[in-house]
Structure 1
Amino acid sequence: MDILDLPQEILGHILSYLHPATIVRFGQTCKHAHDFIGPRNQILWKSAFSHVFDDPNDAWSLMPGTSRAPNGTPVEWDWHWELVGRLRALQVIRSKWRVADEHDHLEKHLNAVLSMLDTAKFAPTARELANGKVPLEDDRYLSLNLQILSDLDRYRDGLENLIHDTGTPQCIKYSGSDGNPWNSPRYPVTRSMSFDEHEKHRPESASRLHVLYGLTVRERITHKARGAARRKVYDWHRVGPDNDYGPFKRDGSGHVDWSLLEGVCSVISRSFEMCVDGHIAMPQGLSFSIPHRSLIDPTTPTDWARVTGHWLGTYSFLDFADLFAYNTWHGDARPRLDDEPEACGDLMKLELKLDDTLSGDPRLHTSLPVCTDLPMLFFSGLSRAHVGVHRPAVGIRGCACLVPGGREVRWRFIISYGGEDQWQLEGIQPGGIRSGGVYGLWSQCDHDTNGPVGPFCYFPAELCKSTSVVLLA
């Protein structure tokens, strides 16, 4: 009996055990087989998809309220299209030479990688928990998506070229002999290339993937990349009351300004590395850019954001003369901020606890829309530097909530000295609930015209691997 004579349900069941590549080869045997495995056979391609990637329902079912896909898989989810798009993106990334040749499709590849990250399985399912599975801070081995994304560390050239070159008129063909793409003999852009002009053509997805991925080799080795990030972070005109002086879009929507947050992450990540001098590992990268990297304390089950506990972070700032000159310069030769000295603060340790008495605090209310799928959390605590036993702790209070859409978490911190509110910190946890860290902008609470501004970051202490640095209690 010919296999094609089998009932379609049985044939589909048999093929569902095969790898997608094998299914494609089966479809090349004859016209009938080709028609059978066509994109319309969603049941077959759903089975094929599950051989390679996580079932997105595992992630959606654990997302809060309306931020998850309603009633399971959304109608517009096409299993064949998603599978093919992801496999093509991975093929391009694994061959860094092809990134330039795929110029017209790079945004699709970016979205495919982000889709893998957004639908990665980040916690045990209800069935696994019922069978005694214990959730861990690092459950990446549960996720097929994370295993694939972790494997991309071997192909970081292709992934980083995808992040940086999407939206550029021309792309890097290959790196120089020293691995530095700026030294490539066929690099088609001069060293006087305007990063600001480049930014106008980069899609938001490129900035978002960069934030979730972390520092790249290219931005580490060029002063121009440092200057491009600083020009975003220290620009007074990018923040105001319509975005609460934080990394949000200036349209009153409350959505994340990924381009601005990209600059914040680039600047403060290097500052954090300088601050800890290699003694603490920053929880940065794709494996920390999904929810539930830190666990809920069973003694505070309402603390969905993992507010309670210790946080580690730092801040940085420009000399005010450089900041003022950059923002008030008139003419063509505006400072580039490539080499201006930038100061890094101490390694700060926060000790936070939930404090519902602050729910009426006007400093902790916002006019920007927020997602109400989970309740806003209010907290208070202390902030102190890890060095200097006798250095006083300062008071800190704040709130955490979901941004519109429910994926990212918004944080506000108010720092007080001597009972007077001094600094307002507006941050985003880009990886989602209880993910790697919070990045944002600090400014004065009274928001005086031409006041200081700079980036900051905080990370859950249990996600930072400490070695020789002693963190004082």
Structure 2
Amino acid sequence: MPKSAANILQIPPEITEHALVLSHPRDVARFAQTCRLARQLVYQARDQHLWRRLYLEQPFDDLRNSLEVQASPELANSVDWMGELQRRVYATHLLSKPDIIAQDLSEALKVLITAIRNTPPPLDKTGESKDILWVAHLVQDHKVFGTDAEATSGQEMAMREALRDASQEFCQMWSYLGWRDCHDTEYEIETRNHARAFVYDLRNYSSGTLWGPFMEDKKLKYRVNWLHVASIIKVVHSNLQDLGALWSGTRPPRTLRSLQPYTAPNCPNRNPRDWAGVEGTWRRYVCFMDYRFFSVGNNGPYDPEFFEAEDFQEATRLIELKIHIERLLYPNSSNTAASSSTSNSKQALPIIFFKGTSRGGNGNEADVRGSVRMTPDGYIRWRFVSASIYDGHSQWSSEGVQIGAVGSAAGVVGTWTGAHHEEGDPAGPFWLWKVEDNHPSHMHTTLFA
């Protein structure tokens, strides 16, 4: 044993531990490599007291404040402080590599995505998650979302190449953070047209994709297609920028806080059975192409330059909804009666069935019925159908995915199609988010229902 290590370990363990807590986790790992006793102190202690203190010294949220632990307080004693800290330090290391490969980029982004999804509910109306701020600064510092038309540094070029093979994780992270920093540049215009070419391509809609932003999966049956989700956000966000001052006070939230659980209006005071924060007042933007262009474009794959035609027309309309829970259905149960309470575990979360009304321009109104449930890969899926209030005929069907955590203010993005999915039915993107019940109505203007 080196003499220096022996001298250090003659100090009372609590003092050594305090010194380690003030060190960077990488230095703690190096200290553990100096001798057997140091390794025992760091990695073989009877509890995770050292690692908990070390973790909480970092700019991270307290893992004990997560929704999962709040629902089952006994889980606080089994939090894996060491494992979570090691994963985050390693992800930071991977993103700093100038020659990052696709597999490493994918693994790093998975860690960051998990951090965002597991953020605790905010303690007040202004607080932001430390985890989300950490992720946002990390991806910005390492140019994960570099939008220059030409990559210049070796790191940027390596990142760009790696993204080709890590598209799902990249698109998911972009759907959370990247779109918030989009600017009206030539590069953004180009990516907008590529997104349009994907979103309006009918070949991306089938029973296998649930007619929405999903993909078939042999193990899970289906899972979220984040490339589709990112394309939807790109199209809707770009179209909203084109609106200028029109409905400027009615926009999906841009703040990082909007990704946290139960940040949507009235969610903190929701009915206990409403685990998804469904009940309330919502706003929804829908986008659609002039049907003449839509039918011509879908004779084959869209060329992004198709959308640069001088007479190309795409519309964006605002819809107002009010919905409430109709009933709950628990998995593996035939009991459709509404329940007064629910478990927070993913396996036990019931399917929420809701109904309500939708109002658009020209006095158009529709009845809305739908459901909210967990997807096999642990995300929140929204599905609803609008029907004429006059004859009950179903008109449009919508499929969407919650952005961020459950009940997030960021809302739901997805696609609408014909309710019966007949050949030639149009399709387009939408963004749905919750507002205060007294949010201004815009139905005095000409809108689409």
Task: Decide whether aligned partners of structure 1 residues 198 and 115 sit closer, same or farther in structure 2, where only a CA change above 3 A counts.
Answer: closer
CA-to-aligned-CA distance 1:376-397 (integer Å, 9 cap, x gap):
1122211123xx6x62322222
Residue 445 (structure 1) aligned with residue 419 (structure 2): yes
Write the distance in 1 (CA, Å) between the matches of 2:237 and 2:192: 11
Native 8 Å contact 2:25 2:54 kept in 1? no
Structure 1 letter corresponding to 2:170: A
Native 8 Å contact 1:212 1:285 kept in 2? no
Residue 54 (structure 1) aligned with residue 91 (structure 2): no
Task: Decide whether aligned partners of structure 1 residues 80 and 241 sit closer, same or farther in structure 2, where only a CA change above 3 A counts.
Answer: closer
Report the equivalent of 1:320: 291
Alignment RMSD: 4.2
Report the equivalent of 1:290: 260
Which of 371, 379, 388 in structure 1 is aligned with 2:354?
379
Write the distance in 1 (CA, Å) between the matches of 2:35 and 2:261: 45
Native 8 Å contact 1:23 1:37 kept in 2? no
Question: What are the equivalent positions in structure 2 for 1:27-426 lying under 5 Å apart?
Answer: 27=31, 35=39, 43-52=49-58, 53-59=60-66, 61-62=68-69, 73=78, 78-88=83-93, 100-103=98-101, 105-123=104-122, 135-140=123-128, 143-149=129-135, 152=137, 157-158=140-141, 161-163=143-145, 181-182=148-149, 201-215=165-179, 217=181, 220-221=184-185, 222=187, 223-251=189-217, 253-275=221-243, 277=245, 278-284=248-254, 286-294=256-264, 295-296=266-267, 298=269, 300-329=271-300, 334=303, 336-339=305-308, 341-356=312-327, 372-385=347-360, 391-406=363-378, 408-417=379-388, 418=390, 419-426=392-399
Task: Decide whether aligned partners of structure 1 residues 326 and 57 sit closer, same or farther in structure 2, where only a CA change above 3 A counts.
Answer: farther
Task: Decide whether aligned partners of structure 1 residues 318 and 343 sit closer, same or farther in structure 2, where only a CA change above 3 A counts.
Answer: same
Task: Decide whether aligned partners of structure 1 residues 22 and 432 sit closer, same or farther in structure 2, where only a CA change above 3 A counts.
Answer: closer
Native 8 Å contact 1:99 1:162 kept in 2? no
Write the distance in 2 (CA, Å) between the matches of 1:310 and 1:188: 45
Write the distance in 2 (CA, Å) between the matches of 1:262 and 1:69: 37
Q: Following TM superposition, by how much is the alpha carbon of 1:242 offset from its aligned partner in structure 2, in angstroms?
A: 1.9
Task: Decide whether aligned partners of structure 1 residues 338 and 185 sit closer, same or farther in structure 2, where only a CA change above 3 A counts.
Answer: farther
In structure 2, stretches of 5+ residues that fail to align are 1-5, 335-345, 445-449
Name the TM-score, length of structure 2 as normaliser.
0.75
In structure 1, stretches of 5+ residues that fail to align are 93-97, 124-134, 165-179, 361-370
CA-to-aligned-CA distance 1:82-104 (integer Å, 9 cap, x gap):
24225436xx5xxxxx6754456
Write the distance in 1 (CA, Å) between the matches of 2:298 and 2:320: 32
Write the distance in 2 (CA, Å) between the matches of 1:309 and 1:453: 26
Write the distance in 1 (CA, Å) between the matches of 2:131 and 2:25: 18
Write the distance in 1 (CA, Å) between the matches of 2:80 and 2:57: 21
Structure 1 letter corresponding to 2:226: W
Write the distance in 2 (CA, Å) between the matches of 1:184 and 1:200: 14
Structure 2 letter corresponding to 1:260: H
Native 8 Å contact 2:288 2:314 kept in 1? yes
Write the distance in 1 (CA, Å) between the matches of 2:278 and 2:323: 6
Write the distance in 2 (CA, Å) between the matches of 1:452 and 1:237: 12
Task: Decide whether aligned partners of structure 1 residues 69 and 265 sit closer, same or farther in structure 2, where only a CA change above 3 A counts.
Answer: farther
Native 8 Å contact 2:21 2:50 kept in 1? no
Native 8 Å contact 2:175 2:229 kept in 1? yes
Structure 1 letter corresponding to 2:373: C
Task: Decide whether aligned partners of structure 1 residues 25 and 372 sit closer, same or farther in structure 2, where only a CA change above 3 A counts.
Answer: closer
Native 8 Å contact 1:234 1:453 kept in 2? yes
What is the percent sequence identity of the aligned residues? Answer: 20
Task: Decide whether aligned partners of structure 1 residues 318 and 324 sit closer, same or farther in structure 2, where only a CA change above 3 A counts.
Answer: same
